[in-house]
């Protein structure tokens, strides 16, 4: 059986190949070539907090790093874009350690059982913030960024097993006017 070429098939094949190569070339060069650079960061204030959008996906916080200006006020707009419950714990190491212990102690021993509520002493809990989100759930919280890089907060998820899977966010302190990575 002899193969017959339809009129225009060769030019359609060339066009498809050219499109595929252009797509690969554009992706290899960083994606959208017409994208504009990110705007400079203007630090948030109590009257006008800066919006910082964060997606909690399965075992990762997006974006990374999360850029914060020391002393600013931010309005975290959180969404759990993962398939399972996630936790957003932002604060110093003692707070992270306390939530890790509390979550482990509250974890049910039987699969499918309901976990006990997690709580900390009010003075310790006040050193940071904690938000637990079911899949698809959203929350908005205000946060004043510590002024000293030495007291820069850590970001972790302490739902049992999530920290072991690498659910640790990266925080970067930047100067006012800096742009994204």
**Nearest one of 68, 51, 49, 40 to 174, comparing CA atoms:** 68
Report the mean per-residue pLDDT for the chain: 84
Lowest mean pLDDT among 1-5, 55-59, 77-81, 158-162: 1-5
What's the rounded mean pLDDT across residues 87-108?
92
Helix, coil or strand: residue 122: helix
Domain ranges of the chain: 50-173
- Please tell me the class of the 50-173 domain: mainly beta
* Strands 50-57 vs 73-80: parallel, antiparallel or unpaired: parallel
What pLDDT, on the 0 to 100 scale, is given for residue 27? 45
pTM for the complete prediction? 0.75
Q: What are phi and psi of 73, to 5 degrees?
A: -110, 125
Question: What's the rounded Cα separation, in Å, for the pair 179 and 181?
Answer: 7
Task: State the pLDDT confidence band at 32, using cuts at 50, 70 and 90.
Answer: low
Q: How confident is the model at residue 41 (pLDDT cuts 50, 70, 90)?
A: very high
**Cα–Cα distance measured from residue 82 to residue 123, given in angstroms and rounded to the nearest whole number:** 31
């Amino acid at each position: 059986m002899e193969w017959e070429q339809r009129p225009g098939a060769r030019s359609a094949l060339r066009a498809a190949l050219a499109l595929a190569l252009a797509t690969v070339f554009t992706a290899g060069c960083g994606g959208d070539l017409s994208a504009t650079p990110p705007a400079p960061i203007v630090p948030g204030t109590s009257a006008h907090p800066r919006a910082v959008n964060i997606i909690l996906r399965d075992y990762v916080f997006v974006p990374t790093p999360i850029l914060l200006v020391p002393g600013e006020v931010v309005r975290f707009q959180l969404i759990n874009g993962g398939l399972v419950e996630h936790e957003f714990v932002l604060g110093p190491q003692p707070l992270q350690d306390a939530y890790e212990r509390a979550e482990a102690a509250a974890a049910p021993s039987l699969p499918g059982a309901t976990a006990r509520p997690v709580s900390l002493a009010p003075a310790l809990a006040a050193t940071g913030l904690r938000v637990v989100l079911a899949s698809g759930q959203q929350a908005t919280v205000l946060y004043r960024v510590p002024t000293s890089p030495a007291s820069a907060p850590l970001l972790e998820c302490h739902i049992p097993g999530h920290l072991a899977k690498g659910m640790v966010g990266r925080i970067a302190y930047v100067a006012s006017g800096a742009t994204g990575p």
